[in-house]
Amino acid sequence: MEELKTINTDDKSKEPCAFCKKIMPFWNWLESRFGLLTCMDNYCKQTYSKGWSCLRVLSSTIAFAVFVQVMTGFVMWLSYSANAGSAWESVFNIQNNVTLGWLLRGIHHFSAQVLVAACLIYIIKMILVGAYKIPREVIFWLAIFMFFFALGACLTGDLLRWDQNSLAATQVRTKYLLLLPFIGEPLYKLALGGEAFSTLTLTRFLALHIGVFGGGFIVLLFLHGWVWYRSADQDKLGDVPVCPCEACKPDAPKVKFRPGQCLRNAIGWTIFMAIVLGLVFHFGQVKPGVPAEPGLQYGAELGSPASTNPMDAFEAARPEWSFRGLYEYTLRLQGVPEFVLIYCITGTIAFLFFIMPFTGRVKILHAFNVCLTLGLLAVTVWLTYSSYARDAKDESYLAAWEQDETEALRVSALIKEKGGIHPNGALFMVKNDWVLQGPKIYSAQCASCHNLTDAEGKGVVCQTPSAPNLYKYGTRDWIAGWLDSKTIKSDAYFGKTKFVNGTMVKEIVKMEDEINKLLNSAKEDDKEEGQDMVNAKNLIIDVLTAEANLTAPRKVVDGVPEGVPEGFKEAFSVTLSCANCHQFYGMFKPKTAAVDLTGYASFAWTKDLTANVGDAKFYGAENDRMPCYGPEGVLTAKEIEMVSKWLKEAASK
């Protein structure tokens, strides 16, 4: 057995110190079982013909980034659930409930992005300084593989948060597998765990992310380190490029690698982490300036929960930044078959890179390699930039993003409000939330006839409005409009319906003519009567406005509803003959049936009308074109409730 003292016998200065001498048996044990001291000694004594270099920090920084990924990734794995019904929910929990979970996610996400960039820079650096040629071919190939594995880890990791964007974008990119002849479809099915995205896709992507791409990257890193260590005597590898920085220029031709390089490496790591933290605090789930909980504000993006329902299409699916160049390139070269673009051309470029260690030995081909690398880099940067620039001007893209952001914020607010996520999942909460579903149902069902636009035409715009404008529905101004001959005939009320020639419009015109006649009459009695009619009209508007604001129906005592002003009965039935057609809490005996005004435009009334406008207490057989949403099975009771509630709330704003 080799004893410690036999090591370094030729070097007196390396005599063990007093402390080490005391624990000599321990050192000897380490040496005999692991050969650790010899290894350390070799490591510490490594020399380089050209010494330290700032350029050499890259590989060590990549190793550091992987360490960070393993550490943060493992802890997230502890709380992650790879199931379509709970993946988003578990990520939400990490982001919002786990102590500093947002930092954990943020560091993992952005370290991955910087790691991809670091691998790319590492490859470019090797080519630029000529360090890719034989005998460094294996190191170069390993660097290329590391880059691909980092991309693979990003592609698989992206889906795991299971929000609308990650699902939609992954659905697009996995379909590119289908372009491959013969193996395309089997590969696609293998990746997805079936023919469509499901829970099995998540379980597989998690396994691929950790087991194949994460684990594979670590294996590559060790291989890289091993091959690099074996070539430790860099003289064997010929010229090692010198960093242009002054501090890196050694005085002696052979310089001890450590600890000078270690310090540079540590600086590299610190810069890496500073960039990551900068990104964590710069980007966030919420746009800068939008007030939100601190945890929500920072770190990796988390949009609204993913829905595989084809009716909930997310219209802003885009690849991650590292694939934006490729995305833009396929868009710009429309007409060329995509198989050629995605597999043949990029495959050829990848092949050119793989053979670089051989071609690079010829001087002119080395120049070609450098030009190819720089050219590709420039083109990619330009394509990436122009892709982002185009999206920044694309209104439908921006609107889809904003919609998703609104949903994400709303669902977090809901979860906070309820104190947790519903057992059926966050998507269930989204689907049953009137704030989110109300406008969607309105746009899909109501907005084909009803405008919901203010005087400037802003709001939910209907292309060809043919029914009353529901802007400020149930407010005093809106109700007053029904009792005005000009407005009721306008397109914002009955103008485009068959009721424009109906009894109501005729009666209102008649009433207004009479009021005008009386008010302009010379007789005091007539004037007084006219004023009575105006007062009665205003009283009815007041009462109906109060009805619209009711949250529960009035109590009826002895045939009289509570809280209705005394003069109402006379105004409604005698002064103005509304009661000839309209009912109100069963107080009157209308001769012909028109809309029952009991609880008029209140939430409950609106809901009942939306459910079945053909009911006798609404338009009955006189109904113009509005569908009976409940009986016809177009909307569920819950959907009717949500759109009614939203319409009422929208009006009150």
Partner 1 sequence: MEETRVCPCKAMGESRREFCAAIAALGLGAAAVVPGAVAAFSGGFDPIMRGSAAGETPEFNLGALSSLPEDGTPVKKAIIADKQDGWTKYSNVPVGAVWLRREGDKVSAFNVLCPHNGCFIAFDPDGKQFKCPCHNAFFQLDGKQNGSSISPRDMDSLDVEVRDGNVFVKFQNFKFGCEEKIAQA
Q: Write out the residues near partner 1 by the rule CB under 8 A.
A: 84-85, 168, 171-172, 175-176, 178-179, 185-186, 189-190, 192-195, 198-200, 203, 308-311, 313, 315-317, 330-331, 334-335, 337-339, 396-397, 400, 448, 463-464, 627, 632, 634
- Which two three-digit tokens encode residue 470? 């529901």
| Cα–Cα distance, 79 to 449 (Å, whole number) | 48
Rounded to a whole number of angstroms, the minimum distance from the CB of residue 463 to partner 1 is 6
* Residue 456 burial (CB count, 10 A): 6
What's the CA gap between 204 and 88, in Å, rounded? 16
Q: Which residue, 463 or 551, has its beta carbon nearer to partner 1? A: 463
Our CB check for partner 1 shows the closer of 448 and 520 to be: 448
The residue among 11 and 632 lying less far from partner 1, judged by its C-beta, is 632
Q: How far is the CB of 210 from partner 1 (least distance, A)?
A: 16
* Contact between 357 and 134 (Cβ < 8 Å): yes
- For the four alpha carbons of 47, 48, 53 and 57, in that order, the dihedral sign comes to negative
Neighbours of 354 (CB within 10 A): 13
CA distance 639 to 436: 11
Closer Cβ to partner 1, 126 or 467, answer by number? 467
> How far is the C-alpha of 256 from the C-alpha of 128, rounded, in Å?
25
CB of 404 to partner 1, least distance (A): 12
Nearer to partner 1 by Cβ, of 172 and 263: the residue is 172
Distance CA 406, CA 494 (A): 34
Residue 216, Cβ neighbours under 10 Å: how many? 17
Closest CA to 606 of 438, 432, 360: 438
Q: Name the residue nearer to partner 1 (CB basis): 95 or 387.
A: 387
Closest CB to partner 1 among residues 74, 229: 229
Question: What's the min distance (Å) between Cβ of 330 and partner 1?
Answer: 7
Distance between CA 234 and CA 101 in Å, rounded? 44
Identify which of residues 6 and 396 has a Cβ nearer to partner 1 in the complex.
396
Cβ at position 146, least distance to partner 1 in Å: 25
To the nearest whole angstrom, how small is the minimum distance from the Cβ of residue 62 to partner 1?
A: 30
Write down the least CB distance from residue 482 to partner 1, Å.
Answer: 27
CA distances from 444 to 21, 42, 397, 581 (A): 83, 73, 20, 33
Of the pair 215, 627, the CB lying nearest partner 1 is at 627
- Answer for the pair 275, 116: CB distance below 8 angstroms, yes or no: no
The gap from C-alpha 433 to its chain's centroid, in whole angstroms, comes to: 19
Distance of CA 149 to the CA centre of its chain: 24
Contacts within 8 Å (CB) and 24+ apart, 74-79: 75/104, 76/104, 76/105, 76/108, 77/210
Q: Which is nearer to partner 1, 636 or 652 (CB)?
A: 636
Phi-psi region of 592 (alpha: psi -120 to 50; beta: other; left: phi over 0): beta
Minimum CB separation from partner 1 for residue 522, in Å? 55
Residue closer to partner 1, measured from CB, 39 or 461: 461
CB of 161 to partner 1, least distance (A): 18
Least distance to partner 1 from the beta carbon of 443, Å?
11
Q: How many angstroms separate the Cα of 125 from the Cα of each of 242, 243, 411?
A: 12, 11, 45
**Other beta carbons within 10 Å of 399:** 12
The token pair that represents 82 in the structure block: 């790879």
Choose between 259 and 347: whose C-beta lies nearer to partner 1: 347
Least distance (Å) between residue 186 CB and partner 1: 4
Three-state DSSP class for residue 47: strand
Minimum distance between the CB of residue 184 and partner 1, rounded to whole angstroms? Answer: 9
Within its chain, how far is the Cα of 299 from the centroid?
13
Cα 265 from Cα 251, distance rounded (Å): 20
With contact defined as beta carbons under 8 Å apart, do 536 and 575 qualify?
Answer: yes
